[in-house]
């Protein structure tokens, strides 16, 4: 996967240097991400409907999960070492 730089340091996948260590991520529109359950994520990307956004502010990383969450493993995304 391409190197993803991210500054959200309370995410389970975040690492020092602002590097994402997720095995894969799903970027989507905020309004769509808010309506679907946590288990729908990057492993299901081929089934996600393509969608448009007006600005970067309309998009989000759906793979984000708080490092203290009990939902870390529900989407089958893994954390690379």
For the CB of residue 48, give the shortest distance to ligand SF4 in the complex, in Å: 15
**Calpha distance 18→76 (Å, rounded):** 22
- Angle among Cα 8, 44, 5 to the nearest 5 degrees reads 25
For the CB of residue 50, give the shortest distance to ligand SF4 in the complex, in Å: 20
For the CB of residue 13, give the shortest distance to ligand SF4 in the complex, in Å: 4
Interaction site with ligand SF4 (CB under 6 A): 4, 6, 8, 11, 13-14, 20, 22, 25, 61, 63-64
């Amino acid at each position: 996967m391409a190197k993803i730089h991210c500054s959200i340091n309370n995410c389970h996948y975040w690492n020092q240097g602002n590097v994402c260590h997720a095995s894969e991520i799903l970027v989507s529109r905020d309004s769509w991400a808010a309506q679907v359950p946590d288990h729908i994520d990057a492993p299901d990307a081929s089934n996600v409907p393509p969608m448009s956004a007006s600005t970067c502010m309309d998009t989000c990383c759906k793979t984000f999960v708080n490092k203290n969450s009990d939902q870390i493993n529900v989407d089958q995304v893994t954390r690379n070492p």
